[in-house]
């Protein structure tokens, strides 16, 4: 029988193809939002200062082709235009570009910065009512701190996040990931998508506002809710958590593993594997609420058992029993792990210069693969001319 040729499936378009985003952003929050939108198919034009560009270009080492690896991670696939917004000619050119090309503007200049140059949200929506304009600030649009500048560590401190990080008696510490910058970028992208969805029906744009402080408050939401209910300040539990026990790291004979026995059933299985079945029936530990109240004595008993065997011994038995567990991996182990590889989440720019983590979302089982490359500073200044947008 003659074989019939199988047709090659047509390329599936990305959700934001045809959407143009102007990113008047620097550092991390706005560029991270722009990276998300660009990876989803939008054409992102990055506006950088003619005096050195985005600060994040210098946030290294390591450096790749003259720009920090961090810069590549959140700016790949964009175009770069340099200008001095204090120059009336440049500001006018940017206004014209927005009116002509943009569906979305996102910006994280200091409070009042865009308004000073005639590029604020009210000014631009008056010129283009269909525009979705997103402000990414430090502390929000109202209140005594509205004009206060801020970076991620300051938001962590002022939001209370740092007050319950670390273990009892340890020096105060911050989360060594810019969770508020990246979280604010994520909320910005979500708000922009919601506004675009509404615009599709109404034809009218709107202003979206997000800030590092509001994002930090949302991360602290559970602790704030607990405090408002009880009046008690959150404790500092190291690798553990306030409301679930045991849910933390334990030292084995040759290293440390993380175990999350999140309910009474899992706790009973844990006790059986550790050879401590009587603990599951002890009134001090029989329910999660009781275990939280008697956290110190329970963790001491469990730790004694963990220390009698090696990591591999416990992981094999916990996996067999269906108890959530795992080793505490270093980044080199994470990158090399088969699970990471299977997810196809590590990506490389189209020119092969830089590697980065792709979007943690898939459509129909396929992760967006619009990687592009990282633009040189001012590489796309020609886009200010009245020509169709070019993708780097």
Catalytic residue positions?
181
Q: How far apart are CA 31 and CA 107, in angstroms?
A: 9
CA atoms within a 13 Å half-sphere pointing along the CA-CB vector of 103: 22
Phi-psi region of 180 (alpha: psi -120 to 50; beta: other; left: phi over 0): alpha
In 3D space, the residue among 334, 363, 332, 358 whose CA is nearest the CA of residue 344 turns out to be 358
What length does the chain have? 392
* Close Cβ partners of 350 (under 8 Å, ≥ 6 residues apart): 371, 372, 373
Work out the angle at residue 275's Cα, subtended by the Cα atoms of residues 271 and 281, and round it to the nearest 5 degrees: 45
Could you tell me if residue 299 is left (phi over 0), alpha (psi between -120 and 50 degrees) or otherwise beta? Answer: alpha
Cβ neighbours, 10 Å, residue 10: 6
**Pick from 244, 248, 259, 249: nearest CA to 292:** 244
Tracing tokens 């047709």 back to the chain, one arrives at 7
Count Cα neighbours of 188 within 13 Å in the Cβ-side half-sphere: 35
CB half-sphere exposure, 26, CA atoms < 13 A: 20
Phi and psi at residue 214, to the nearest 5°: -65, -40
**Residue of 39, 38, 34 whose CA lies nearest to 54:** 34
Asked whether the beta carbons of 261 and 290 are under 8 A apart, the reply is: no
């Amino acid at each position: 029988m003659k074989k019939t040729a199988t047709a090659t499936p047509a390329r599936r378009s990305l959700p934001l193809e045809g959407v143009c985003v102007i990113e008047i952003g620097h550092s991390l929050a706005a560029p991270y939002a722009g990276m998300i939108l660009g990876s989803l198919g939008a054409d992102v034009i990055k506006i950088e200062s003619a005096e050195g560009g985005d600060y994040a270009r210098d946030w290294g080492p390591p450096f790749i082709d003259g720009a920090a690896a961090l810069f590549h991670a959140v700016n790949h696939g964009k175009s770069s235009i340099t200008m001095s917004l204090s120059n009336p000619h440049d500001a006018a050119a940017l206004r014209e570009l927005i009116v002509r090309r943009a569906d979305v503007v996102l910006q994280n200049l200091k409070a009042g910065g865009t308004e000073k140059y005639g590029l604020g949200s009210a000014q631009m929506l008056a010129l283009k009512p269909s525009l979705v304009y997103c402000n990414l600030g430090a502390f929000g649009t109202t209140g005594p701190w509205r004009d206060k500048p801020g970076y991620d560590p300051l938001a962590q401190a002022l939001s209370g996040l740092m007050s319950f990080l670390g273990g009892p008696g340890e020096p105060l510490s911050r989360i060594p990931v810019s969770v508020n910058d990246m979280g604010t970028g994520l909320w910005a992208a979500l708000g922009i998508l919601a506004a675009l969805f509404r615009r599709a029906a109404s034809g009218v744009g709107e202003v979206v506002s997000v800030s590092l402080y509001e994002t930090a408050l949302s991360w602290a939401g559970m602790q704030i809710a607990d405090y408002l209910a009880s009046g008690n300040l959150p404790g500092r539990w190291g690798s553990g958590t306030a409301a679930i026990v045991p849910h933390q790291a334990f030292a084995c004979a040759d290293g440390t593993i993380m175990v999350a026995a999140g309910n009474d059933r899992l706790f009973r299985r844990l006790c059986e594997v550790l050879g401590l079945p009587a603990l599951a029936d002890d009134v001090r530990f029989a329910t999660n609420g009781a275990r939280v109240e008697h956290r110190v004595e329970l963790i001491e008993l469990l730790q004694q058992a963990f220390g009698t065997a090696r990591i591999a011994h416990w992981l094999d038995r916990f996996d067999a029993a269906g108890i959530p567990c795992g080793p505490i991996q270093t980044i080199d182990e994470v990158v090399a792990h088969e699970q990471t590889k299977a997810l196809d989440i590590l990506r490389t720019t189209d020119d092969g210069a830089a590697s980065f983590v792709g979007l943690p979302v898939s459509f129909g089982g396929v992760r967006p693969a619009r990687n592009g490359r990282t633009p040189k500073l001012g590489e796309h200044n020609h886009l200010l001319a009245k020509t169709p947008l070019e993708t780097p």
